[in-house]
């Protein structure tokens, strides 16, 4: 199975969820600033990379975990991906997509605009991290839901 965590620009919320899922970030505590900075792709995705899937690793069930930015065109991009897979004869049921944008608070949104769109990495990046830290356990809960689903699937097979 391939699991895609998606958000607006594949720079913040999808990276955090995928990092929790793959064990880069802990589930039992809020990470420090430096732990976020060390993540691959955190606040680093360029505008021309939006729509490109990035591999983050595998989970304990050998599912491949990806991130992807979809801007405001989430439904269109999901439809394109599924249509493309069908045309290539690839089972689209092996793809699971998880939205993360609903977990983003105002601090993270403003920080993301400052850092990614306006190029003001400082103060943008620290603001995104502060916002993510405030909602961190919501990200953990989302990942736990996804893992529970795949634990049940693996248990049945």
Q: Per-residue pLDDT tens for 99-131?
A: 999 999 999 999 999 999 999 999 999 999 999
Look up the domain containing 127 and give its range: 2-156
Give the angle 50-52-53 at the CA atoms, nearest 5°. 125
CA distance 151 to 153: 5
CA distance 95 to 78: 10
How far apart, in Å, are the Cα atoms of 29 and each of 4, 7, 47, 60? 24, 23, 31, 20
The answer to whether 108 touches 13, Cβ cutoff 8 Å, is yes
Whether the upstream peptide bond of residue 121 has omega within 30° of 0, thus cis, is: no
Model confidence at 156: pLDDT above 90: no
Q: For residues 86-105, give the mean pLDDT.
A: 91
Structural domain count, the chain: 1
Percent of the chain with pLDDT over 90: 75
């Amino acid at each position: 199975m391939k699991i895609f965590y998606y958000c607006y620009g594949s720079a913040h919320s999808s990276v955090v969820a995928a990092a929790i899922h793959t064990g880069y970030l802990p589930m039992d505590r809020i990470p420090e600033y430096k732990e976020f900075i060390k993540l691959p792709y955190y606040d680093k995705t360029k505008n021309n990379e939006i729509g490109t899937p990035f591999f983050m690793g595998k989970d304990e069930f050998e599912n491949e975990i990806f991130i992807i930015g979809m801007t405001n065109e989430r439904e269109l991009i999901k439809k394109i991906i599924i249509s493309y897979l069908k045309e290539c004869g690839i089972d689209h049921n092996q793809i699971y997509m998880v939205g993360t944008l609903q977990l983003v608070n105002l601090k993270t949104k403003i920080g993301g605009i400052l850092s990614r769109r306006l190029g003001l990495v400082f103060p943008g990046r620290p603001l995104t991290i502060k916002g993510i830290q405030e909602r961190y356990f919501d990200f953990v809960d989302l990942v736990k839901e996804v893992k529970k689903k795949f634990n049940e699937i693996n248990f049945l097979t």
